[in-house]
Structure 1
Amino acid sequence: MKQPKRHPIAITVILLFVAFGFFFAVGYSITSMIYHWTGTPPEFWAHVISGLVGMILIVCVASISRLIASRYSKGMRQHHVLQSQILNAMTRIAQGDFDVFIDAHDDYLHNDMVDGINKIAKELGSMEQLRQDFISNVSHEIQSPLTSISGFAALLKNTALTDEQKNHYLGIIEAESKRLSALSDNLLKLSALETGGEPLSSMEFRLDKQLEEVVLMLEPQWNVKGIELEVDLERVTAQGDEGMLSQVWVNLLHNAIKFTPEGGVIRVILKSDQVNICCRITDTGIGIAPEDQIHIFERFYKVDKSRDRAHGGNGLGLSLAKKIVELHEGQITMQSEIGKGTTFTITLPK
């Protein structure tokens, strides 16, 4: 047979009677213990006192229960709010919206998670900004030579051009094509170095001989401008990737030649001690302003974009040099002064 259902109100009344009976019994027991030491008052007052003690117990327990329930309820509400904020933030991040921040409070149980999500959103936002800047810079660098090539190729269709004009336009097209090729090559090298796609090969080689070979290779460039090369190379054996380090010296010397006026001086000094190898490349060129020096190793950064474009630069040479030096656990620094020249110092572990 089915048990008859009891009404919730009836159950509540029964529980209240049981609770009152329990607390009054406890109150009677407490007062009896007290009377054992103080003596028993008249029966009427004894019942009154035990009843008051029971009521006090009921009020205290009810207050404590209400406080606990209130705090628990508040904690649950905060937990649900925080959970909703976390889920919303993670959904927005998954959709590519990194403008996310969750306010943390001292009484939150998951502040570590909140801090972690805020940090992830901030880092991803920075990476997205770098990606957008990178795409913008690459597009700009590609568009400029393509526009020149397209424009001068169209001019070559003119049958009335002289041979001198044709050769001039063809020379510009050739130079712009080489600039595009250099841009592509440097981008591929930077990508390979940063992703580990082009691991370093380590071998011993004469660093002084390598620098000497680079100086001689670039002789047509510095000789045509009447630049004097002062070379002081100590006999040094280095350990590292010979091909990549050669790219560092080529980039730095090429820049020094490019921005040193005719009749200037470039000094290449190589020294070493028991711990480090130090190479300094100093020019008497135009120098770099202080506000530009802090950006000089950034990708695509150019001190004077119009002048640099005229020289065929793409703003990646110094970034590539810095990355190669860092992969060899070395350091590259720069000092420069407008109108007096620039010095690049490369320090490598011996």
Structure 2
Amino acid sequence: MQKQADKTENRKYRMSLRIYFSMIFSMILSTVCIFSFIFVFAGMKLLYHGAINMDVVFIVCLIICVLNMIIGSLVMWKGSQHLTKPIGVMSKEVKKVAQGDFKAYIKRNEKYRGKYEFSNEIDELAVNFNKMASELNGMDYMKKDFVSNVAHEVQTPLAAISGFTEILLTGGLTKEEEQEYLSLVNNESLRLSRLCKNMMNMSRLDNQSIVVKKDRIRVDEQLRKCIIMLSEKWSDKNRNYELDFDELTVQSDADLLMQIWSNLIDNAIKYSAENTTIWISGKIEDGVLIVNIRDEGFGISPKKQPKIFGKFYQGDESHKKTGNGLGLAIVKKIVELLGGIIACTSEEGKGTNMEVRIPV
């Protein structure tokens, strides 16, 4: 079985390096031996006319060995340039990456590859290097974008707090005006606190790779608790809820699941108009927990839908003061940590449906 697996693995190469090097070395060795033999034979035929004894044989063998070493070394030195050229190119590109230039790229010889996936192991290494450089370049862009967004998100509430406190310090305000400005300062402080909390949560999730699913959870109860909790938060907005689920008991991480439902229901409330309905359904099918949260909100345009799970992305500019664009990024990360997927289907003016599928 192992030999068969090795053969299957080698089929992706036009010629493995082991075979390639063996062929090159065999050709060089054969060529050098033939040339040395011809050279010595011609020399003996033309220059030596005496008797052949052991001393002569020894000298001839010695001459052949010396010629083999000299000619072989020269041929190998010349041939090694061809063998080490792709490694030199790769080393140059790797140095660029080490210096922070993630646009490095190694050009492949497509003609030599033919119908095979790779020409050899170095070609495969070049492909993987190009993928790595591309990913690093993308991550570098995301990092710069992330830092820029963080600076902007932090600066906005800080500027508001600074401005309102300056007004309060100047004095001369009525009691009602003072209360109004203090309320605004408090709101911006809470917004800054939520931003820091979400950023720490995102950082923790980014560095977490294993989730211990130790809790036995009633997901239906979690969903009801989220509705009650968020109804109090959005007490100034009237929403109707249609629930379609029975008892949903799973083994997972309770805190992480609660974050998913609270973020998704919070978004459904935030982006829905007054006196609209939010549908929440859930079931366990073939070992997978399926939860759908659908609203009659403003919807998301097809152009914006691929971006909604990005960090700090907010499709609706009018809600920038009530969020920081990390909610859906956190949800997606948690769902992936739990081995599941999240899908969004939306139509402008008709609402949005978020479907979460988590294996249980």
TM-score by length of 2: 0.73
| Alignment check: 8 A CA contact 1:268 1:282 kept | yes
The answer for unaligned runs of 5 or more in structure 2 is 1-36, 48-70, 113-118
CA distance in 2, matches of 1:164, 1:23: 120
2:344 corresponds to 1:322: no
Query: Which residue of the other structure, out of 101, 124, 131, is the alignment partner of 1:97?
Result: 101
CA distance in 2, matches of 1:225, 1:116: 53
Q: Mapping of 1:15-30 within 5 angstroms?
A: 18-22=40-44
CA distance in 1, matches of 2:155, 2:261: 29
1:220 deviation in Å?
A: 2.2
| Alignment check: 8 A CA contact 2:340 2:358 kept | yes
| Alignment check: 8 A CA contact 1:78 1:108 kept | no
Give deviations 1:95-133, integer Å, cap 9, x for gaps: 212221233334998434433433332222222112111
SS state at 2:242 partner: strand
Give deviations 1:247-304, integer Å, cap 9, x for gaps: 1111111111111111111122222334322211111111111111111111111112
Equivalent position of 2:347 in the other structure: 337
2:191 corresponds to 1:179: yes
Alpha-carbon distance change, 164 to 198 in structure 1, aligned in 2, over 3 angstroms: farther
- Comparing 292-301 and 154-163, the one that deviates more: 154-163
CA distance in 1, matches of 2:140, 2:45: 66
Query: Which residue of the other structure, out of 188, 196, 205, is the alignment partner of 1:193?
Result: 205
1:231 deviation in Å?
A: 2.1
2:358 corresponds to 1:348: yes
CA distance in 2, matches of 1:197, 1:172: 39
Query: Which residue of the other structure, out of 273, 288, 291, is the alignment partner of 1:261?
Result: 273
Give deviations 1:163-207, integer Å, cap 9, x for gaps: 222222222221111111111111211221221288444211211
CA distance in 1, matches of 2:172, 2:144: 45
Equivalent position of 1:134 in the other structure: 146
2:299 corresponds to 1:287: yes
| Alignment check: 8 A CA contact 1:201 1:240 kept | yes
Equivalent position of 1:78 in the other structure: 82
| Alignment check: 8 A CA contact 2:211 2:253 kept | no
2:208 corresponds to 1:204: no
SS state at 2:304 partner: helix
CA distance in 1, matches of 2:283, 2:91: 58
SS state at 1:262 partner: coil
Query: Which residue of the other structure, out of 123, 126, 129, is the alignment partner of 1:111?
Result: 123
Alpha-carbon distance change, 23 to 323 in structure 1, aligned in 2, over 3 angstroms: farther
Greater length-normalized contact order (CA 8 Å, ≥ 6 residues apart): 2
CA distance in 2, matches of 1:94, 1:280: 46
CA distance in 1, matches of 2:299, 2:38: 90
State the AA in 1 paired with 2:337.
Answer: L
Q: Mapping of 1:202-241 within 5 angstroms?
A: 202-241=214-253
| Alignment check: 8 A CA contact 2:290 2:356 kept | yes
| Alignment check: 8 A CA contact 2:292 2:356 kept | yes
Alpha-carbon distance change, 214 to 89 in structure 1, aligned in 2, over 3 angstroms: same
The answer for unaligned runs of 5 or more in structure 1 is 1-14, 26-65
CA distance in 2, matches of 1:327, 1:232: 26
State the AA in 2 paired with 1:135.
Answer: V
1:157 deviation in Å?
A: 1.7
CA distance in 2, matches of 1:108, 1:249: 49
Structure with max Cα Rg = 1
- Comparing 109-118 and 274-283, the one that deviates more: 109-118
State the AA in 1 paired with 2:160.
Answer: S
State, as a whole percentage, how many aligned pairs show the same letter: 35
CA distance in 2, matches of 1:207, 1:18: 89
State the AA in 2 paired with 1:242.
Answer: A
